[in-house]
Amino acid sequence: MIALKELIEKPISGDWGIEGENVNVLRTTNFQNNGLINFENVVKRNVPEKVIKQKKLLRGDIIIEKSGGSPTQPVGRVVFFDTTGEYICNNFTSILRPKKDLIDSKYLHYILFANHKIGITEKFQNKTTGIINLQLSRFIENIQIPLPPLEIQKHIAQILNDAAALRDKTAQLIKECDALAQSIFLDMFGDPAFNYNNFPEQELVSLVRSSNDIKCGPFGTQLSKSEYVESGVPIWGIPQINSSFVKKPTEYITSEKSKTLEQYSVFPNDILMSRKGNVGTCSIYPKNWELGILHSDALRIRCDENKVNPVFLIWQFRISRSLIVQINNVSSGAIMAGINVSKLKNIRPIVPPITLQNQFAEKIALIEQQKELAKQELKESEDLFNCLLQKAFKGELT
């Protein structure tokens, strides 16, 4: 094991410059949690040419996050710079430049990535005035790197590259499933914002059997945290909605308590929507799942399926710029936006013939089947990558 400080040049701090457009500047918003850089929203700034020359990123550099983070995402993420062009990184990051006669750049990146993933990097962070900072000097002094011969390092990096490529290819397939679903929607119904097909528009409340079918979850006077139990009837909230119910609930109430909250029940095919924070994000409660209860930060739309198919409606919520604007207009809050449920009932989606909506839902069901298979493959490929990464970190991968 060799100290990181022996394997890299002196760290190069980033620079933010001033308003202008003479150089590309990478920020932590360009960091992806798989260790890659997202180049889609790179900002341009004015930075003196002398500074650019000193701080310009070179292919094979590792960029480390030294300010930012959150309770669920510790500071210290690393990404690998593997392109050409004139780029620097901002002042919340630093460049770690490997000594290539001692260590393979990609191998080092994977070892540092593993350090962050398993929580070692977290030991070198501190929090001041609400910002989490990485103690970079102490990190570089103390982090130990397994150092097999250079050829073995390159071999290990290639094994991990191949495993990462498999994982990323499967993740891309899932994205393509969503893109296909969106394409089918637009092909069948057009852009709802323009409604060239002249489908009727109806108030949302007219598409449910009762106005109470559009309802937000119970508030503190009806359900307090002191009534939560370790298991029982699940409470479904924003984390579950945002993950399309992949994330499991962490809060439960007793069956007896749930009977007093039946008006806030959640059944299969209900649309659940986040009404705070990232307002408007929504998912359909899966078929064959047991009864649940709404969280106070969520709302439920229980469709009259003789009038509107929930699969069609949820995709309209996701795609229609018109509906997105309408939802934003019925949201308010000085600190955190929240949907006004009474006003939400008056938003006006397009309502094509139900037979056409059902045809769309059938096509989406086929796509979802393929997507579920891809999700299982993704889990398996992520498990493989993580297993190999852990072996590399322990010096067991050769």
Residue ranges of the domains in the chain? 2-147, 200-351
**Both ends of the chain: CA-CA distance in Å?**
15
Percentage of the chain modeled with pLDDT above 70: 96
Percentage of the chain modeled with pLDDT above 90: 67
Residue pLDDT, tens place only, 113-122 = 999 999 899 8
pLDDT at 50 exceeding the cut of 80: yes
What pLDDT, on a 0 to 100 scale, did the predictor assign at position 102? 95
Handedness of CA 153, 154, 157, 158 (dihedral sign): negative
Give dist(CA 328, CA 337) in Å, integer: 9
What dotted CATH number matches 200-351?
3.90.220.20
What's the angle, vertex CA 391, arms to CA 98 and CA 116, rounded to 5?
55
Q: Are 61 and 96 in contact (CB under 8 A)?
A: yes
What pLDDT, on a 0 to 100 scale, did the predictor assign at position 187? 96
Give dist(CA 55, CA 342) in Å, integer: 54
Q: What is the arithmetic mean of pLDDT over 381-392?
A: 91
pLDDT at 275 exceeding the cut of 90: no
Residue 294, beta-bridge partner list: 236
Q: What is the arithmetic mean of pLDDT over 363-378?
A: 93
What pLDDT, on a 0 to 100 scale, did the predictor assign at position 334? 47
pLDDT at 127 exceeding the cut of 80: no
Q: How confident is the model at residue 90 (pLDDT cuts 50, 70, 90)?
A: very high
114 against 291, higher pLDDT: 114
Q: Token digits for 30?
A: 């360009």
Half-sphere exposure (Cβ direction) of 254: Cα atoms closer than 13 Å:
6
Q: Token digits for 1?
A: 């094991």
Q: How confident is the model at residue 339 (pLDDT cuts 50, 70, 90)?
A: confident
pLDDT at 200 exceeding the cut of 90: yes
Q: Token digits for 338?
A: 């929240």
What pLDDT, on a 0 to 100 scale, did the predictor assign at position 337? 60
351 against 220, higher pLDDT: 351
Give dist(CA 52, CA 87) in Å, integer: 8
pLDDT at 308 exceeding the cut of 80: yes
152 against 288, higher pLDDT: 152
Q: Which residues are CB-contacts of 185 (< 8 A; sequence separation ≥ 6)?
A: 315, 316, 319, 360
331 against 348, higher pLDDT: 348
pLDDT at 288 exceeding the cut of 50: yes
What's the angle, vertex CA 146, arms to CA 115 and CA 387, rounded to 5?
55
Handedness of CA 197, 198, 200, 204 (dihedral sign): positive
Residue 274, beta-bridge partner list: 298
Q: Which amino acid is residue 4, in one-letter code?
A: L
What pLDDT, on a 0 to 100 scale, did the predictor assign at position 183? 96
Q: Which residues are CB-contacts of 240 (< 8 A; sequence separation ≥ 6)?
A: 247, 248, 249, 272, 283
Q: Do domains 2-147 and 200-351 have the same CATH topology?
A: yes
For the chain, the average pLDDT equals 90
Going by the DSSP 8-state scheme, the letter that residue 303 receives in this structure is B
Q: Which amino acid is residue 276, in one-letter code?
A: K
What pLDDT, on a 0 to 100 scale, did the predictor assign at position 219? 80
Q: What is the arithmetic mean of pLDDT over 16-30?
A: 92
Residue 339 phi/psi, 5° resolution?
A: -75, 130
What pLDDT, on a 0 to 100 scale, did the predictor assign at position 342? 86
What pLDDT, on a 0 to 100 scale, did the predictor assign at position 199? 96
Q: Which residues are CB-contacts of 376 (< 8 A; sequence separation ≥ 6)?
A: none
What pLDDT, on a 0 to 100 scale, did the predictor assign at position 356? 97
What pLDDT, on a 0 to 100 scale, did the predictor assign at position 80? 96
What pLDDT, on a 0 to 100 scale, did the predictor assign at position 54? 94
Give dist(CA 300, CA 302) in Å, integer: 6
E strands within 254-344? 265-266, 271-274, 282-284, 292-294, 298-301, 331-332, 338-339
- The CATH label, of 3.90.220.20, 3.90.1150.10, 3.20.20.140, 3.30.1360.30, for the domain at 2-147 is 3.90.220.20
Start-end of H helices in the chain: 49-55, 105-117, 136-142, 150-189, 238-242, 255-259, 310-319, 321-329, 341-344, 354-394
What pLDDT, on a 0 to 100 scale, did the predictor assign at position 23? 93
Give dist(CA 344, CA 347) in Å, integer: 6
Q: How confident is the model at residue 129 (pLDDT cuts 50, 70, 90)?
A: low
**Beta sheet of 93-96, edge-to-edge order:** 12-13, 93-96, 62-65, 78-80
Q: Are 304 and 312 in contact (CB under 8 A)?
A: no
Residue 32 phi/psi, 5° resolution?
A: -105, 150
